Amino acid sequence: MADLSMKQFKKAVGYGQRVNKFYIRFPETFAGDNGILSYLVQSTSIPTKGMGVVTLPWQGVVTRIPGDPEVSGSWNVTFRVDAKNEVYKSIWSWLLSICDSLTNSRAALEDVIKEIDAQLLDVNLSPVSTFKILDVFVTEVGEVTMDYESENTIATWNATFAYSDIAYNFS
């Protein structure tokens, strides 16, 4: 019979993965964010990766087999606005380098597509899992909401990124 005691439960869970213990490592971006970009991430999630399903009907019976790998292709990050707005300017510069509609200029593809590391950390801030988000580029820089009635609050904004795949480091 299974041991369903609280002691066994605590042993299985340990400290658990805390939702506030993560680190997103961004590459150097275009405006030179002075290395603060990763520290101003307020929230995000590990992007989705899944497996497609092939449906095979055969003589009135339907079976399923694994299909092709699938990714949602969209990843959202909420950033805090720093005192000099460096992070916002940095991501804007990244977006404009892809295609500046005012000048009709584009950077080389290899200059705008990046890799980003996402790490889940334990309670001692040591990495327990590392995800590499591949072929990332920014697709949208969101609005910064301003409100005279809000006090003791740091402004935030969202950025949306596209990606082609995600790799998990099992070590």
CA distance 111 to 55: 40
Answer for the pair 82, 40: CB distance below 8 angstroms, yes or no: yes
pLDDT digits (tens, 9 = 90+) for 107-139: 888 888 999 999 999 888 888 889 999 999 999
Please report the pLDDT score of residue 50 as a whole number: 92
CA distance 56 to 54: 6
pLDDT band at 56 (very low <50, low <70, confident <90, very high): very high
Please report the pLDDT score of residue 77 as a whole number: 94
pTM over 0.85: no
What does the domain layout of the chain look like in residue ranges?
A: 17-46+62-169
Please report the pLDDT score of residue 53 as a whole number: 96
pLDDT digits (tens, 9 = 90+) for 3-55: 888 988 888 888 777 888 888 888 776 545 556 778 888 999 988 889 999 99
Residue 109 belongs to what H/E stretch? helix 109-112
CATH of domain 17-46+62-169: 2.30.110.20
Please report the pLDDT score of residue 36 as a whole number: 72
Coil, strand, or helix at residue 96? helix
Neighbours of 41 (CB within 10 A): 19
